[in-house]
Structures are given as C-alpha cells and as structure tokens.
Amino acid sequence: MPLVTTGDILSQAPSGVGAFNVIQLEHAEAIVSGAEAASSPVVLQISENCVRYHGALKPLALACLAIAEASATAVAVHLDHATDRALVEEAVRLGIGSVMFDASALPDAENVTATAEVAAWCHERDVWVEAELGEIGGKDGVHAPGVRTRPGEAVSYVAATGVDALAVAVGSSHAMTTRDAVLDLKLIGELREAVAVPLVLHGSSGVPDDTLREAVRHGMKKINIATHLNRAFTGAVRDHLATDPATVDSRKYLTSAREAVAQEVTHLLNLLTTP
C-alpha cells in the first residue's frame, strides 16, 4: 500500500492504534505480518536507542519503509523518543512521516521552546509530531515513577508547542517485564476531555490486556509497545535452541521468533481495536 503517516492512521481509526518498536528487520516483518492477519493498520517505530544500537538510522529506516509499502494493510513508519533534532531531520529526509520528539528531560520552558521549534520545522514538511509532557516512569533514570500529567498543563503544552499528539504519564513505566501496571483511568478520561490532540500511552508492555482495553475506552489512542514483543521474540529463540541446541543457522530460530511476535501483534491489535 502507499505510505501513510501515523496521523493518517490515528485520524481514521475508530478506537486504539498499536505502535510497535522495531529492533531488527525480523521485528518489522513480524509486526506487519501480525497486522495483516488482524486486518488492522499499524505503526512501525524506530527509537533513538535502536539507531544507536545499529550505528545509523538509514539502513533500518529504508527497510521499514520498503516493508510498509509492500504491506497489504496501512503501515506508518515513526521515529520514537528522539532527543536529537539532527536525528529528526535525518528521519524526515529519509521519508519517515512522523516523529516523537522527546525534550522531557529539559526544564519545562526549554522543553516547550525546543519542541515548538521542532514541530514548526516538521509541519512545514507535512510531518506529524508527538511529544511528551509528564515523565513516564523507568526510562533510563530520566523519568520519575509516580509522575502524572495534569490536564491543565497538558492543554497549555499542546497550545504552546503545536504538537499533533501528546504522550501522557498515567501510571505506566517503560521496560516493564511484568504486566501489572495500574493506570489512572479517571485521569485518562479527564485528559481526553481537556486535550484536543490524540493521547499516547508509553510503557504499555507493563499493562494487562483488560486495562489496555479500558485505557482505549477512556480515551487513549496510540498504544506504544516494545518490551512485551521483545520478551516474545527472545522466549521463542530460547525455546528453539533448548529444543535443538545443535542449531547454527540463525534463520531457524529467528523464524520462530518472528512467528511469535507476529502472533502477539495480531492478539494485541485485535484487543485494541475491539470497541
């Protein structure tokens, strides 16, 4: 299908949209395969940490864009948690149609200034921008657990920066390997009533299925998931090598991993898109 942006997908989706992080090519293939099985649009996310792991953005970005174009369902490619404006600009030059610019580690006034400048630059190039007010617990020691986004501050931040979507702190944490996060559903509803742009839930890997569904019902639109899929990927590799420790062809265990991730993506997309 022709490339779409994250904004295109969110504006047309009647409920939640799954946004899944890519680390290797197999992740991108699995995510799109799972989305096709669910007959659902999906967002492929490449984080700044992933770029650092690969040493460059371009190879993985171009691969994801090619996979998106070849998909039978709508797929957007998104730059996630970029703190470096130069990386944002490179992503846009490569054809990535949406970015999450993360200035949350800066003092509030600097966050607003930097984010507004990036948003203006991106909007001149028809690129959709997500940003963050209120810290999401557990990300590299930068985000303080227990922080919550206040509706009034969220409204002011969106107005001052001009962003197209807002990641909010409502009880989730990045990199959770257990699914026992407790979300403030009442706060989600208050934020949805107050804020004019779509709300984004980061750290969704730690949120149980039923709570994810309730978060969407209360107003969350874009649901970011990374660690949960990494657990499925790594678990499948472990299982394969435990069953056949003589395996040396990486395609064999990576095929198992890819299939495990695709199945989980299908499950999650069906969950998020159920009214």
CB 50 within 8 A of CB 91: no
Q: What is the rounded distance in angstroms from the CA atom of residue 31 to the CA atom of residue 181?
A: 24
Of 161, 153, 80, 154, give the one whose Cα is nearest residue 123.
161
8 is catalytic: no
Of 21, 6, 35, 63, give the one whose Cα is nearest residue 264.
35
What's the per-residue H, E or C state across 76-127? Answer: EEEEEEECCHHHHHHHHHHCCCEEEECCCCCCHHHHHHHHHHHHHHHHCCCC
- Please give the torsion angle defined by the CA atoms of residues 174, 264, 229 and 154, in that order, rounded to the nearest 10 degrees: -30
DSSP H or E run through 201: strand 199-201
CB 237 within 8 A of CB 213: no
Which residues lie across from 76 on neighbouring strands? 43
Of 171, 165, 130, give the one whose Cα is nearest residue 147.
171
Length of the chain: 275
Given 8, 80, 102, 210, which residue is catalytic?
A: 80
What residues are annotated to the active site?
80
